[in-house]
Amino acid sequence: MAQFQEVIQKSDLHPKPAGLVLEYGTAGFRTNAGRLDHVMFRMGLLAALRSRKTASAIGVMVTASHNPEEDNGVKLVDPKGEMLTPAWESYASQLANAQQADLVGTLKNIIEREAIDMSQEAKVFVGRDTRSSSVVLSQAVLDGVSALGGVTKEYGLVTTPQLHFMVCCHNTQGEYGEPTVEGYYKKLGQAFSQLCKNASNRTDDQKHLTVDGANGVGALKVREMEGQIKELQISLVNDGSGKLNHQCGADFVKVQQTPPTGMKVNAGERCCSFDGDADRIVYYYVDSEGRFHLLDGDKIATLISTFLKELLTQAGLELNLAVVQTAYANGSSTQYLENTMKVPVRCTKTGVKHLHHAALEFDIGVYFEANGHGTVLFSEAAQAKIRQLAEDSNMNDERKRAVLLLQSTINVINQTVGDAISDMLLVEAILAIKGMTAQQWDAIYTDLPNRQLKVKVADRCAIDTTDAERRAVSPAGLQDSIDGLVKKYPRGRSFVRPSGTEDVVRVYAEADTRENADALAHEVSVAVYRLAGGVGDEPKPL
């Protein structure tokens, strides 16, 4: 009991509010910052246990990503820099919701079930975003780690992907890179410079990029990194002097289909937006008629996979390359990849952890959600083949160039998690090498008009889906109804899925025209309302 004495004493300083129940999901815990002190302390405890179980450093990131500034949250980072394994998500929820008197008992159950050796050293890396609440909340994490005798390394202000990177670097004994912010800048910056050596005769206009930093930590880190990426001329807006995520950032731009507040966009200029913790990015531009054009995660995945396929062909490398999407990916992107580029596409359930897991099945897996969260994974075998080929002195110049470009591409990518800075550098390098404008990139394929709606229901569990959420298996008759409606519209596609957090059903529809996409979305919403226990008024036409 002696080893839990400090847990008992310190947990009294981080009491759990009565009646509060939280669930650890893909985004970790996320809610109003005032409700999270006890959660942070307990995630410090859990990280110390996870570290002992894996005999590795574990990360804890204090952030609420694209949520409003008054919110906060926490995510744990596993040894290879990946998200916390799903098996331990339930432990996180159990610990967060345990009554004060049951906390030690809950810890003992986890220790027993996982056969954790408590004499093993525990090491936890802690990072935080720029929210004013993050300083106090990260201290609660440190308290939790120390209460179980763990050692902490406090990184302070970092992007979420930087913390993932540092955890991976430490646990690979530096093989992945140096586990410092400077090591991150150096690895990505050098790779970007190498890639840009293959881009000839670029004008200042082509080198220029306007970046919306969402008034978050990503803005601070881009500023710190500018000296390492001289091939790029960045104009930074929403640089941290305004309110975090307020009328700016990747989520705002994608949802509102408009540039962020405070950004003047000239026709044809390339722009991008990060989210609050810099793990998402979307690109956009305004055409000569003032129309806004979004280049989302689907467009980014298409650009990257097209580039990689060309390099593999030039290098004479036979590796299986695939793109992983969710059902929300625009149908035009899927058709272009499969039919024009002959790149296989795998569809998974919504949620980054599902995409990441599926991408691991290929030599090279490119995954992006439409919201701009994504990265590229290279298998160990693929990286070894590329390294081996780079050392072959008998190659012709074209093959040599392609192999060296592949090596630099691997180094500019943060394979641990979606990373706005890394993805930005990769996109900029590809556009530079191919001599493409944002308009030319956008013209690779044209998005089908689409509409997303929500239908309130009495119980979201009434809807059950299969085939990566693309088909409903309950309630009876709903999928038949959707199939019939889809047939009415050229290039029609629609699916429904229950929300993970509230009693609503999300409806997605796309078709050949805006009017048809809206009509299909509305008709499917009515079918959901009638067959799945809708509450309130029946959905009205758009």
Residue type, 395: M
Cis omega before residue 475 (within 30°)?
Answer: yes
Whole-angstrom distance, CA of residue 480 vs CA of residue 184: 51
The torsion region of residue 177 among left (phi > 0), alpha (psi -120 to 50) and beta comes to left
Q: How many alpha carbons fall within 13 Å on the CB side of residue 460?
A: 15
Whether the Cβ atoms of residue 457 and residue 535 lie closer than 8 Å to each other: yes
DSSP 457-501: BS-GGG-EEETTTTEEEESTTHHHHHHHHHTTSTT-EEEEEE-SS
Which structure tokens are listed for 469?
């959420």
* Burial class, 265, CB count within 10 angstroms (exposed 0-12 / middle 13-18 / buried 19+): middle
Q: Which one from 11, 51, 56, 65 is the annotated catalytic residue? A: 65
Q: Interior CA angle at 429 toward 228 and 355, to 5°?
A: 105
Chain-centre distance of CA 501, in angstroms?
18
Residue type, 470: R
For the question of residue 305 being annotated catalytic, the response is no
Tell me phi and psi for residue 215, to 5 degrees: 55, 35
Whether the Cβ atoms of residue 494 and residue 508 lie closer than 8 Å to each other: yes
The alpha carbon torsion through 80, 86, 91, 92 (nearest 10 deg) reads 70
Whether the Cβ atoms of residue 414 and residue 422 lie closer than 8 Å to each other: yes
Paired sense of beta strands 493-498 and 471-474, if any: unpaired
Instruction: Look at residues 278, 267, 284, 268 and name the one whose alpha carbon lies nearest to residue 245.
Output: 278
Residue type, 368: F
Q: Which residues are catalytic?
A: 65
